[in-house]
């Protein structure tokens, strides 16, 4: 018998966060120049994405997900939308258009995840079958 675990939105969420975080760490200097944002801001974005990605992936791989853990995930995504918006506003005068585009894109992606995860929090929190 072949064991196959289905990929859920939590896998996508966690993988995206971790991938973005690691990419930001790996290319922090280059991205800082491309986005025209301070290096420390890029490192902050990298750290937050990496930590979040690890949490979301750990949750995705867990056999039992509590309702509270799913709510925390959706709330964290919502807070991240606000943080992305604050970064765009704070650095609007110096950030490159591509930097603004990518940070706004991240906010949009994470915002859609927040809405989906919140609407489906009861289903997502059920024990894996």
Domain residue ranges in the chain: 9-124
Contact 47, 105 (CB under 8 A): no
* Percent share of the chain, pLDDT over 90: 86
- Mutual orientation of helices 39-61 and 28-35 as an angle, nearest 10°? 120
Phi, psi (deg, nearest 5) at residue 33: -70, -45
For the segment 34-57, what is each residue's pLDDT rounded down to a tens digit? 999 999 999 999 999 999 999 999
pLDDT value of position 63: 85
Q: H helices of 1-129, where?
A: 9-26, 28-35, 39-61, 67-90, 97-119, 121-124
Q: Looking at the predicted structure, is the pLDDT value of residue 117 above 70?
A: yes
For the segment 8-19, what is each residue's pLDDT rounded down to a tens digit? 899 999 999 999
Tokens of 88: 């765009």
């Amino acid at each position: 018998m072949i064991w196959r675990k289905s990929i859920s939105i939590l896998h996508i969420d966690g993988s995206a966060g971790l991938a973005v975080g690691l990419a930001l760490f790996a290319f922090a200097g280059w991205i800082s120049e491309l986005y025209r944002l301070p290096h420390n801001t890029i490192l902050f974005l990298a750290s937050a994405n990496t930590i979040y990605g690890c949490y979301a992936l750990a949750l995705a791989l867990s056999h039992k997900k509590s309702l509270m853990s799913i709510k925390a995930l959706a709330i964290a995504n919502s807070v991240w939308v606000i943080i992305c918006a604050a970064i765009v506003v704070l650095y609007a005068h110096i950030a490159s258009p591509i930097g603004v585009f990518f940070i706004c894109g991240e906010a949009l992606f994470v915002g859609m995840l927040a809405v989906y995860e919140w609407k489906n929090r009861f289903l997502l929190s059920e024990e894996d079958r």
